[in-house]
Structures are given as structure tokens and as C-alpha cells.
Amino acid sequence: MRILIVEDEHGIATFLKQGLEEESFAVDVAEEGKMGLQLALSGEYDLLLLDWMLPGLSGIEICRQFRKEDSETPIIFLTAKDTLDETIFGLQTGANDYIKKPFHFEELLERIKVQLRPKSGDHAIFTLGNITLNTTTHQVFKLNEEVNLTLKEFALLEYLIRNKGTVCRRSRIIESVWDIHFDYNTGVIDVYINALRKKFMLTEEENYIQTVRGVGYIAKEV
Ligand code: CA
């Protein structure tokens, strides 16, 4: 899952990025409002964290303009503003939630998870052959045996499984699992793909993660 933080206080932005990456999110930061809106409108994000007071364009204005294009992607405001009127105004503008500074990271994380919780009709449990991935408990099984994955391995597998049957381009994988500043040319995806194949001890009959030469990878049942 990919999150955009629009926050002009460098310390807070860095702290959040690091914390969320440790939770296996891919995170991009914009420290200025106009750039924030431009990135938000790229459609690449599963959730936006918006500061209220920003140079260039306020969080409220970003929210208002973003909502004209996208009514679905959750938005959480991070702000020192905390009067009732302002809270209501923020929510009326289209934000899904609101957290006041200073906040505890754990609380913000839970609020993010609430927003990203699978909606009814969505699935928390995905399967790929005899592999089962549960995005709620963050567990993965092969048959009934739990397989321990690192955060990035989990994120990569989740991305592939969510796109099961579709060829996933390398650039899209990098954007989703890592972030936009990542060096595209490294062989990091291959390293992680190999680690996954090894951890699941995929045999020829269980060739669930296939290489599409020159393009990327595809998760499919064989
Ligand atoms: Ca600010």
C-alpha cells in the first residue's frame, strides 16, 4: 500500500515516513502544497496524510481539489488546528479523519489501518495456489504452515497476489512496494522475488511467481 504525506515540517515528515515504512507501506513525501496536490492526483496512492497549514496550497485546498477528481481515496488531516469548527470544516471538505498534533504514532497508524481496512466485498485473505496471505493479521501460509516474511517480502507478495493473473511491470512494483525515489535499475526486485520463491520452496508444479522476460512478474496459479 502506498501513502502520500504532504507536510512542510521536515522533522515530522521524516519521522512519519520512517515509521510507516517500518510498517511496510511505501511512502512519498511532498513538503509543499502544489507539489502535494500534483502527486496526489497521480492516482498512485491508497491514502493521503495532509497537513493543514502548508506553503503553496493549504491542506484544505488540496483536499477540496483532490475530491473533485477522486471521491474514494481516504484522506487524514494532520494538524495543530483543533477547534470544533475547524474539525467539522475539515471533514466537510472531504477528509475521512482528523488527527491533532502532537499525536502518538501508534494512534495515527491505527487510524490509517481503519481507513485501509478492507471494505465489505473486499477480501482480507488472498490465495495463490496453496499460498494464503492475510492482510489483517499480516500472516502468510503455505498449505497450513506459516512462512515468515520480511516486511518488504510481504508487501511484494501482497502486491503480486492482489494483481493475480496480471503482468506486473517492474516500474509499477517498485512504485508500489518501494517509493518514487528508488533506483529503478537495481536488481532489488529479483532479489526479493528469489527470496520469496525460496521461502515458499516453489517447485515446478507450484510455479506461482513467474518471470515475464523484459517486463516484470506475474502471480498465477499453474
Ligand atoms: Ca505545516
Q: How far apart are CA 143 and CA 129, in angstroms?
A: 9
* 78 Cα to the center of ligand 1, angstroms: 9
Say how many Å lie between the CA of residue 122 and the centre of ligand 1: 35
pTM score > 0.85 for this model?
no
Cis preceding linkage at 102, omega within 30: yes
CA of 50 from ligand 1 middle (Å) equals 9
Here the cell at position 39 is 502527486
Q: 181-196, pLDDT tens digit by residue?
A: 666 666 889 999 999 9
Q: How is residue 15 written as a grid cell?
A: 519521522
DSSP state for residue 205 in the 8-state scheme:
G
pLDDT at residue 40 is higher than 70: yes
**What does the radius of gyration of the chain's CA atoms come to, in whole angstroms?**
19
Q: What is the reported pLDDT for 85?
A: 74
CA distance 101 to 121: 34
Å from CA of 43 to ligand 1 middle? 23
Contact 173, 189 (CB under 8 A): yes
Sheet holding 209-212, edge to edge: 167-169, 216-219, 209-212
Q: List the CATH code of the domain at 125-219.
A: 1.10.10.10
Q: How many angstroms is it from 177 CA to the middle of ligand 1? A: 27
Cα–ligand 1 centroid distance for 52 (angstroms): 6
Tens-digit pLDDT profile for residues 142-162: 998 999 999 899 999 999 999
- C-alpha of residue 197 to centroid of ligand 1, in Å: 44
Average pLDDT value for residue range 44-52? 94
Render pLDDT for 65-113 as a digit per residue (tens, 0 to 9).
Answer: 999 999 899 999 998 866 767 777 777 888 999 898 888 999 999 999 9
Section 164-188 average pLDDT: 80
Q: According to CATH, what is the number of the domain 2-116?
A: 3.40.50.2300
Q: Where are the domains of the chain?
A: 2-116, 125-219
* Percent above pLDDT 90 for the chain: 64
Q: For residues 9 and 21, what is the distance between their CA atoms, to the nearest angstrom?
A: 18
For residue 172, pLDDT beyond 80: yes
| pLDDT score at 92 | 81
The rounded Å distance from CA 54 to ligand 1 centre is: 5
What confidence tens digit (pLDDT) does each residue in 3-15 have?
999 999 999 999 9
